[in-house]
């Protein structure tokens, strides 16, 4: 049972590494709408968590709309939960992509709050095969998470960069670069 809603100051930190090995309460998966597993971070999370178990859990949920989020067990991950969110495909920036991406971060924090998760690790949602420009995506991530500080039970939000360039972007936006 999650803790009652409380106001906290959320630490937002950028790190570089493999999201599947982090000891956090929840990791966010950049999923597809069928929750079927795929490439990039989605494929890595499915492989590390246990493809069959995670596939069965996702199949039971069935679908997740773009901008929404749902949760499963973390199975073999160090994280207790996996929060699956479906980011927007980049179509030039004039088709609601920013609002949908912001909704991914907001809904992931809401789901984490419902679960009672205190620490959440996020990948760079939509920046892989979905083509969202990394600079713009990082700005949405940082601004959205900052706007949520004090509204959730989440104490720590980790922005996990797969590469040095993305880490640099996050750190600059967080005032660390």
CA dist 148 to 11, 73, 110, 153, 161, Å?
11, 24, 9, 10, 21
In a domain, 90, yes or no: yes
In a domain, 139, yes or no: yes
Residue 175 CB neighbour total at 10 angstroms: 7
CA–CA gap between residue 107 and residue 123 (Å, rounded): 15
Would residue 68 show up in a list of annotated catalytic residues for this protein?
no
CA dist 18 to 6, 43, 107, Å?
30, 12, 23
Structure confidence by residue, pLDDT tens digits, 97-146: 999 999 999 999 999 999 999 999 999 999 999 999 999 999 999 999 99
In a domain, 5, yes or no: no
Catalytic residue among 18, 42, 65, 155: 42
Distance of CA 17 to the CA centre of its chain: 14
- pTM score of the predicted model: 0.94
- Total number of domains in the chain: 1
46: domain CATH number? 3.40.220.10
In a domain, 159, yes or no: yes
Q: What is the mean pLDDT of residues 85-95?
A: 97
* pLDDT at residue 51 is higher than 50: yes
* Angular region, 69: left φ>0, alpha ψ -120 to 50, beta rest: beta
In a domain, 124, yes or no: yes
In a domain, 1, yes or no: no
Q: What is the mean pLDDT of residues 73-79?
A: 98
Give the domain range for residue 110. 11-173
The confidence band for 8, taking pLDDT boundaries of 50, 70 and 90, is low
């Amino acid at each position: 049972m999650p803790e009652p809603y409380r106001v906290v100051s959320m630490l937002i930190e950028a790190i570089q590494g493999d999201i599947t090995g982090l000891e956090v309460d929840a990791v966010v998966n950049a999923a597809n709408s069928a929750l079927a597993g795929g490439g990039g971070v989605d494929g890595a999370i499915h492989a590390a968590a246990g493809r069959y178990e995670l596939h069965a859990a996702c199949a039971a949920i069935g679908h997740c709309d773009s901008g929404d989020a749902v949760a499963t067990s973390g199975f073999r991950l160090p994280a207790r939960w996996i929060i699956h969110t479906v980011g927007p495909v980049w179509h030039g920036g004039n088709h609601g992509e920013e609002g949908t991406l912001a909704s991914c971060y907001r809904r992931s924090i809401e789901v984490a709050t419902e679960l009672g998760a205190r620490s959440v690790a996020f990948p760079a949602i939509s920046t892989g095969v979905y083509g969202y420009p990394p600079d713009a995506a990082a700005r949405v991530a940082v601004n959205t998470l900052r706007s949520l500080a004090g509204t959730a039970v989440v104490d720590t939000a980790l922005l996990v960069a797969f590469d040095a360039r993305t880490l640099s972007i996050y750190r600059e936006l967080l005032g660390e670069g």
